[in-house]
Amino acid sequence: MRKLLAILSLAFVFAGCGYKPAVYYSKKAIGDKVYAKVTMLRSDPENTVLIKDAINEAVVTKFGSKLVSEKEAATKMYIEVASVGLSPIQYDQNGYIVLYRMNVALNTTVVSKKESKLFQTSGSYDFSVEPNTTVSDSKRFEAIKNGSSKAIDMLISQISILGLIGETGADSSKGN
């Protein structure tokens, strides 16, 4: 009886509670091959290039997928940069801005073999500056990249929560 209890306890410890991170479910929904197209902001093409780079990096690192051509892709992501905005959020005792927030909003249409869905996500990033100085391009670029990355994190969680459009065919034969 003790051996049986020990074996069951050991099996329970190895099986765990079945927790899987959100990336597991979003990867399962998205698949291995992804095409990502970012619509440029005509008013701010420089920032859109940064957002495109951040999105491509996120697809590879966070989704664990490969970027492929539109013909090869199991899933296609059409990302429109809805807005990019910088706003002051803290002032020092002399009235100079010392803390800014960069907000990035994305409208992403994810198309799989079965259907498509629109996701609206946003991300923000707070950064400080020295009093009585302007925001440098490098700080602004870093803030846009980090805000975009947070918007992609929100996209990942929305896809995993909604289960996106079912299976893309990547693991459907395994029954996972």
Give the mean pLDDT per block of 10 residues along the chain (176 residues).
Answer: 72 62 69 84 73 78 83 90 90 92 92 86 93 83 88 84 53 39
- Nearest partner of 34 among 110, 119, 108, 118, judged by Cα: 110
pLDDT computed for residue 10 by the predictor: 62
User: Under CATH, domain 22-162 is a member of which superfamily?
Assistant: Lipoprotein like domain (3.30.160.150)
Q: Are strands 116-128 and 97-111 parallel, antiparallel or unpaired?
A: antiparallel
Amino acid at 81: V
Domain ranges across the chain: 22-162
**Alpha carbon distances (Å) from 153 to 23, 26, 54, 102:** 9, 11, 11, 16
Neighbours of 23 (CB within 10 A): 18
Tokens of 134: 């302007």
Given a contact cutoff of 8 angstroms between Cβ atoms, the answer to whether 54 and 63 are in contact is no
